[in-house]
Amino acid sequence: MRLRALAVGSGWGAHAARVFASDDRIQLCGLVGTGSDRSEALAKELNVPLFTELSAAIASVSPQVASVAVHETRNVMLVEQLLGRGCHVLCSHPVATAADDVARLGALARSQQVLAATDYSLRLCPAYAAARDELSRSGTLLRVTIESPSRTMVIGIDMALDLAGPAERAFVAARYPAELKERRSRHPKAFAPTVLIEHRSGVVTTIVPVPQADPAQAYRVVLSSERASIRLALPDGGARRVQYLGKGEVQERELAPTDAVRRPPVELYGAPMKTLVSKFVDAVVRGGGVHAPFDAEVSVRATWEAFERSVAEQRPAVVRAP
């Protein structure tokens, strides 16, 4: 029997809607949107009804699976409604503005015995998987360096916690040249701080915002371990292992290639998103864990909250688990 599904949001959520519509195990029964031209066009493309209120969609469809991709300030209310009705939910990140809210939603999902996950999809890129596999053969991880677009540093935090484990303390360096003060006040998200994360494992991660980044290689990661340096660029920059052998000799080995044909950003980022949605459906149908559960999102949001305290107090801040 096919599972009834809803897709909430027609922007980034269109990826999930299209996967639901093409999966034989799922019956996409409707979209929930604002009634914009974009949401109406997607509903027409997928031949499903468009609802402007989630409550009406739930009453009509009784969904068993849903995707939610709107905004962190609205996600909580929508996800809570769906989980409360016993619906498995895949939600865009950030799930909420506060770690406590994410933890509460995770507890609700467990009480309802349904799955709740978020969409940190870049960890599903081939280069990331290859680098992570090689890391297990390269000795103890020492340091992680991540260059990230200013507006999406939360993705860098997710990768840091996945690679180096839970965060213990965080420190933020928010200074920029004085002549940028006015521009920073108008566009604060474009001038994200540089952050330092001390992990419980002893690893230290530095995340550096890069305002001008090639979308195909927007996230550049260097993993420094005892025996090698592993370098990768996501979503489509490939990965390689670099080892210094001594006497000026360096050995390099490709772990994952860069695509020979440059693809548009919507395809580069959409491909791992589609993989993530399919994996989520697999977990719902077959049982088992999900790629990025809400518990992982709690850790990401708690780390972000430590950044905010570090900025306010001008000193390292302890990461507090809800």
Instruction: List the chain pLDDT tens, one digit each, 322 residues.
Output: 799 999 999 888 899 999 999 999 999 999 999 888 899 999 999 999 999 999 999 999 999 999 999 988 899 999 999 999 999 999 999 999 999 999 999 999 999 999 999 999 999 999 999 999 999 999 999 999 999 998 889 999 999 999 999 999 999 998 999 999 899 889 888 888 999 999 999 999 999 999 888 889 999 999 999 999 999 999 988 999 999 988 889 999 999 999 878 888 888 888 899 999 999 999 999 988 898 999 999 999 999 999 999 999 999 999 998 7
CA distance 23 to 307: 40
Q: Residues of CATH 3.40.50.720 domain(s) within the chain?
A: 3-118
Hey, what CATH class is 122-262+302-318 in?
alpha beta
Give me the sign of the Cα torsion angle 153, 158, 160, 166. Answer: positive
User: Model pTM?
Assistant: 0.92
H or E stretch including 295?
Answer: helix 294-313
CA–CA separation, 213 and 179 (whole Å): 22
Sign of CA dihedral 124, 128, 134, 136: negative
Question: Looking at the chain, which residues constitute the CATH 3.30.360.10 domain(s)?
Answer: 122-262+302-318
Q: 47: which 2 tokens?
A: 């031949």
Name the residue with tokens 């609802």.
51
Q: Which numeric CATH code is attached to 3-118?
A: 3.40.50.720
User: Omega before 215 cis (within 30°)?
Assistant: no
**Residue (of 295, 299, 292, 304) closest to 97 by Cα position:** 304
